[in-house]
Amino acid sequence: MKKTKASRLYKKNAFYHIYNRGNRKGRIFYGDKDYKVFLGLLFRYLKKTQLLLVGYCLMPNHYHMILKSGTNLKEISCFMHDFMTAYAMYFNRSHIKVGRIFQGPFQARRINGPIDLQTVKNYLEENPFEAGLIEKGIDQSYEWLYIKE
């Protein structure tokens, strides 16, 4: 039996760093409403799966998520297809645009062990600082960042 790309990448009960950015590095969020719609769709589509959301960081032109898979090896791909299609339809309709909003298909990297998982969590936490959206050393949180302890 030939192994598919999904069966090589996806494993049962494994953690994944999922990410994508706007086409031509363009914005995928123009304001609070876009972030809120994205999160609403994320949670709506997650409810239909066995996937566990471990964290996310939403930036003006890209997003990152950490998901834990269940037992269905195709679930992440199906979830992301449905979720991203719904967001793209909302975005294009809301901002009077046509065509793709993402530079390509989402990217997924399997996280290998607890040290790698912590490294990805740290990366998500640093993203808003690195982009200059919030200042380091000042007690402030980034509204569009969530990481499960």
Domain count of the fold of the chain: 1
What CATH code is carried by the domain that includes residue 85?
3.30.70.1290
The mean pLDDT value of the chain amounts to 93
Instruction: Summarize pLDDT for 23-50 with one digit per residue, the tens.
Output: 999 999 999 999 999 999 999 999 999 9
Whether the per-residue pLDDT at 92 is higher than 90: the answer is: yes
Q: How many residues does the chain have?
A: 149
Q: What is the mean pLDDT of residues 59-65?
A: 98
CA atoms of 118 and 124, how far apart (whole Å) = 10
Residue 137: pLDDT band (50, 70, 90) is low
- For residues 91 and 29, the answer to whether their CB atoms sit within 8 Å is no
pLDDT reported for residue 122: 96
Encoded tokens for 140: 């402030």
- For the entire predicted model, the pTM comes to 0.91
pLDDT of amino acid 136: 74
Mean pLDDT of 93-114: 96
The domain containing residue 128 runs over which residues? 5-147
- Contact call for residues 92 and 98 (beta carbons, < 8 A): yes
> What is the pLDDT, as a whole number, of residue 5?
55
